[in-house]
Amino acid sequence: MIPIAYPLVLAVILFCMGIVGFLLRKNAIVIFMCLELMFNAANLVFITFANHYQVIDGQVFVVFVMTVAAAEVAVGLALMVTIFRTKQSIDIDQMNSLKG
């Protein structure tokens, strides 16, 4: 029995670390992983509140989040592969063709 605030704080910390990682790294795959980290933090919040309110809906949402995350990773990594084929790099800063 831990105070409910603790896992929430943990989620916030993980989420922020994901953000910082996203902003710091140029490796597109690492950036992806940071996204997963943020998803994870969000999931933790869902679970915590599912537990707190004793309802199943939080868990259901986690399932959906995971599904979407899986789909996103599949497409994202496929994109990464395609981009790497043309650019020979996965440096995200090189993917700036859409600049003004």
Partner 1 sequence: METVQFFNLVPWVVFLPLIGLTVNLLVGRKLGEIFAGSFASLATGLAFVVSILLAVSLSSHPEAVTIPLGDWITIGTLTVRWAFRVDTLSVVMMLVVSGVGTLIHIYSIGYMHNDVRHNGDTGRYARFFIFLNLFIAAMMILVSADNFLMMFVGWEGVGLCSYLLIGFWFEKGKNGTGNAEAAKKAFITNRIGDFGLLIAMFLIFVNFGTFQFDEVFKQAGQVAAVKPGVMLLITLFMLLGVTGKSAQLPLYVWLPDAMAGPTPVSALIHAATMVTAGVYLVARSSIFYALVPTAQTVVMWVGAATALFAATIALGQYDIKKVLAYSTISQLGFMVAAVGMGATVAGMFHLVTHAFFKGLLFLAAGSVIQGVERGMHHANHASHDFDPQDMRQMGGLRKQTPLTFRVYLIGALALSGIAPLAGFFSKDEILVSAWQTQPAIFIVLVLAAFLTAFYMGRQLTMVFFGEPRTEAAEKASESPLVVTLPLMILALLSVLGGVLNLPGVHTLETWLSHTLGEGEPGHFVWVVAGISLVLALIGLGLAWMIYSRKTDKAYVDPLKRALGSLFTGMENKWWVDELYAAIILNPYRAFAQFMADPVDLGVIDRIGGGLAAGTRALAESIRKLQNGYIRSYALLMLLGLAAIMTYLFLR
Partner 2 sequence: MTTGLFVFLTLAIIAITAAAGLILSRNTVYSALFLIINFLAVAVLYLIMGAPFIALAQITIYAGAIMVLFLFVIMLLGAEKPKEIEQMKWQRPLAFVLGGAILVEGVYALLTRVSITVTTNPASEILADPKTLGISLYTKYSLPFEIASVILLVAAIGAVVLTRMPKKDKGQ
Contact residues toward partner 1 (CB under 8 A) are 19, 22-23, 26, 31, 92-93, 95-100
Residue 91, beta-bridge partner list: 27
Question: Which residue in 40, 95, 98, 100 binds partner 2 (CB under 8 A)?
Answer: 40
Rounded Cα–Cα distance for residues 60 and 76 (Å): 24
Residue 98 binds what, of partner 1, partner 2, none (CB under 5 to 8 Å, by partner type)? partner 1
User: Is residue 2 close enough to count as binding partner 2 by CB under 8 A?
Assistant: yes
Longest CA pairwise span in the chain (Å): 54
Binders of partner 2: how many residues, by CB under 8 A? 70
DSSP bridge pairs for 27: 91
Give the nearer residue to partner 1 in terms of CB position, either 54 or 93.
93
Q: How far is the CB of 92 from partner 2 (least distance, A)?
A: 10
Given its phi and psi angles, is residue 54 left (phi above 0), alpha (psi -120 to 50 degrees) or beta? left
